[in-house]
Structure 1
């Protein structure tokens, strides 16, 4: 999740809001999840990976279990 925090911090406030909107959520939700170290749902992780142009990957967001959630990534 640290990668997501770093990515968000690299964006302006307006860019953060736009990014969160692209992911179907709010910057408030993302910040709260980061501060509480909550695991993000698989669908949101896919959207984050896409909206960040893979700067933040599903593997970053689920380091311990990405291979069971997205087995197709094992080949990549």
Structure 2
């Protein structure tokens, strides 16, 4: 599976299903199929809030993990 599909599945498991994840994001569940490779930038913070998955795991290109010194 692709990392995008894995991320959506993980998020869905956390919140109790794909439908609940879509509802929480204010989208129809079919919209996940249009995401292709990345969670859209405008959905990252809501996805994080709903699932608890850190934003740097969702979109490391936008939210790089801080270097631990």
TM-score when normalising by structure 1: 0.57
Deviation at 1:50, TM superposition (A): 0.9
Q: Any gaps of 5 or more consecutive residues in structure 1?
A: 68-72
Structure 1 segments of 4 or more deviating over 4 A? none
CA distance in structure 2 between the aligned counterparts of 1:9 and 1:50, rounded to whole angstroms = 13
Equivalenced residue count is: 62
Q: Using a 3 Å threshold, how does the CA distance of structure 1 residues 8 and 49 change in structure 2: closer, same or farther?
A: closer
1:19 aligned partner: 21
1:59 aligned partner: 56
Q: Any gaps of 5 or more consecutive residues in structure 2?
A: none
TM-score when normalising by structure 2: 0.61
Residues 1-76 of structure 1 mapped to structure 2, 5 A cutoff: 1=4, 4-8=7-11, 10=13, 15-33=17-35, 36-41=36-41, 43-52=42-51, 54=52, 56-67=53-64
CA distance in structure 2 between the aligned counterparts of 1:18 and 1:45, rounded to whole angstroms = 16
> RMSD between aligned alpha carbons?
2.8
